Structure 1
Amino acid sequence: MSLRLPARHHDRLRIDTSLAIVNIVLLLIFFFLVAGQETRTPRDIRLAQTSQIAPSTLPSPILEIRSAKEWFLDGEAVSPELLPAALSGSDGILHLVIDKEAEASLLISALGHPELASREVRLVTLRAGPGQ
Structure 2
Amino acid sequence: MIRSLPQRKKAIGLDVSLAIVNIVLLLIFFFLATGQLLNPPSQGVDISETTELPLDQLPSPILVVRDSGSWQLDGQDVAPDLLGAALSNLETPLILHVLIGRDAPATSLLEIINRPDLSQAEIKLVTLRRTVQP
- Would the TM-score normalized by the shorter structure come out above 0.5? yes
The equivalent residue for 2:100 is 98
Q: In the alignment, which residue of structure 2 is the partner of 1:76?
A: 76
Letter in 2 for 1:26: I
Which structure is higher in RCO with an 8 Å CA cutoff and minimum separation 6? Answer: 1
1:124 maps onto 2:127 in alignment = yes
Percent of aligned pairs with the same amino acid? 30
Structure 2: unaligned runs, 5 residues or longer: none
C-alpha distance in structure 2 between counterparts of 1:76 and 1:54, whole Å: 13
Q: Is 1:22 aligned to residue 25 of structure 2?
A: no
Give 3-state SS (helix, strand or coil) of 2:16's partner: helix
SS class of match (1:18):
coil
Structure 1 residue 53 corresponds to structure 2 residue 53: yes
What per-residue deviation string (whole Å, max 9, x for no partner) do you get for residues 36-58 of structure 1? 55231576976462321231221
Cα RMSD between the aligned structures? 3.9
Residue deviations 1:92-119 (CA, integer Å, cap 9, x gap) = 5422222345455533433443345652
Question: What TM-score, normalized by structure 2, do the two folds share?
Answer: 0.61
Q: Which residue of 2 aligns with 1:110?
A: 112
Q: What is the distance in 2 between the residues matched to 1:93 and 1:14?
A: 77
What is the TM-score when the length of structure 1 is the normalising length?
0.62
Counting matched residue pairs gives: 123
Give the 3-state SS of the residue equivalent to 1:95 in structure 2.
strand
Gaps of 5+ in 1: none
